[in-house]
């Protein structure tokens, strides 16, 4: 039987929606599988967020999104209970699009659009947070998201995007502490090319470790 010191962090990874194409799922799963301290279970079933199914895990990772999809009240209640117990939630990219406004409020933003896929810059805005301390600027080809924020004061912004179209300082990643639980979000990750970027891989690894209450670096 493993002791707490050598037990792997367990995570359920929820994929759904049009962004979660097979190659993108494989690229994100490869990144997660490469982390020796993490053990993952993949699913397409949103009921994985219900408390009775979520309770065994340390982390919930979501790569989802759809304007017509609604996170149910039971699923959202399970996620809240999970955070209240001290669990970690890592929603990524288009997870900021959902028909349930309370789910969106939990993440901290609703997706409203982006310029065409292409190159842009993501700079650290909070160099003192453990996730972004010493993290370099990211030059990447991806989707540069624009969002609206139900409560901007509820999120601690870690990075901001700067795009040739005129986007200048749009939040790109942030964290929340919800009771004893933790949330980390990154807007990057449109497809498999994004998950090959070494600095993005470092960012996501740090974010996962922070939400799991492990040393991010």
Domain boundaries, the chain: 9-111+172-211
Q: Which residue has the tokens 């288009």?
A: 94
End-to-end Cα spacing for the chain: 27
Tokens of 40: 């993952």
Q: What is the pLDDT of residue 7?
A: 86
Residue 5 CA to residue 181 CA, distance in Å, equals 20
Residue 57 CA to residue 89 CA, distance in Å, equals 11
- Does pTM surpass 0.85? yes
- Kindly state the average pLDDT of the residues 162-166: 96
Share of the chain above pLDDT 70, in %: 98
Q: In which band, very low, low, confident or very high, does the pLDDT at 2 lie, cut at 50, 70 and 90?
A: very low
Residues 6+ apart with CB under 8 A from 28: 13, 63, 92, 189, 195
Q: What is the pLDDT of residue 217?
A: 75
Q: What is the pLDDT of residue 6?
A: 72
pLDDT at 124 over 50: yes
Q: What is the pLDDT of residue 4?
A: 57
pLDDT at 37 over 90: yes
Where is 74: in which H helix or E strand? Answer: helix 73-84
Q: Please report how many Cα atoms fall inside a 13 Å half-sphere around the Cα of residue 118, on the Cβ side.
A: 8
- Kindly state the average pLDDT of the residues 46-75: 97
- Kindly state the average pLDDT of the residues 125-153: 97
Residue 39 CA to residue 47 CA, distance in Å, equals 20
Q: What is the mean pLDDT of the chain?
A: 96
- Answer for the pair 65, 100: CB distance below 8 angstroms, yes or no: no
Tokens of 181: 């639980």
pLDDT tens sequence across 10-23: 999 999 998 999 99
Q: What is the pLDDT of residue 138?
A: 98
Q: What is the pLDDT of residue 1?
A: 30
pLDDT at 67 over 80: yes
Residue 191 CA to residue 188 CA, distance in Å, equals 9
Q: Which residue has the tokens 């970690």?
A: 88
Q: What is the pLDDT of residue 5?
A: 58
pLDDT at 205 over 90: yes
Residue 105: what are its φ and ψ, rounded to 5°?
-65, -35
Residue 109 CA to residue 146 CA, distance in Å, equals 9
Share of the chain above pLDDT 90, in %: 95
CATH for the stretch 9-111+172-211 = 3.40.50.880
């Amino acid at each position: 039987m493993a002791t707490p010191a050598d037990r792997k962090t367990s995570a359920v990874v929820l994929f759904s929606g049009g962004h979660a194409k097979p190659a993108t799922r494989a690229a994100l799963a490869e990144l997660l599988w490469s982390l020796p301290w993490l053990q993952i279970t993949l699913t397409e079933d949103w009921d994985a967020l219900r408390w009775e199914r979520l309770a065994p895990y340390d982390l919930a990772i979501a790569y989802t999104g759809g304007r017509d999809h609604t996170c149910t009240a039971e699923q959202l209640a399970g996620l809240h209970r999970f955070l209240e117990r001290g669990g970690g939630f890592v929603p990524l990219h288009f997870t900021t699009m959902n028909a349930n406004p309370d789910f969106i409020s939990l993440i901290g933003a609703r997706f409203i659009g982006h310029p065409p896929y292409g190159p842009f810059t993501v700079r650290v805005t909070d160099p003192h947070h453990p996730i972004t301390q010493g993290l370099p600027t990211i030059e990447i080809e991806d989707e540069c998201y624009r969002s609206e924020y139900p409560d901007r004061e509820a999120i601690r912004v870690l990075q901001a995007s700067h795009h040739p179209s005129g986007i200048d300082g749009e939040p790109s990643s942030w964290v929340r502490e919800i009771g004893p639980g933790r949330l980390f979000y990154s807007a990057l990750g449109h497809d498999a090319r994004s998950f090959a970027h070494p600095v993005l891989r470092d960012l996501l690894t740090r974010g996962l470790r922070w939400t799991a209450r492990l040393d991010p670096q």
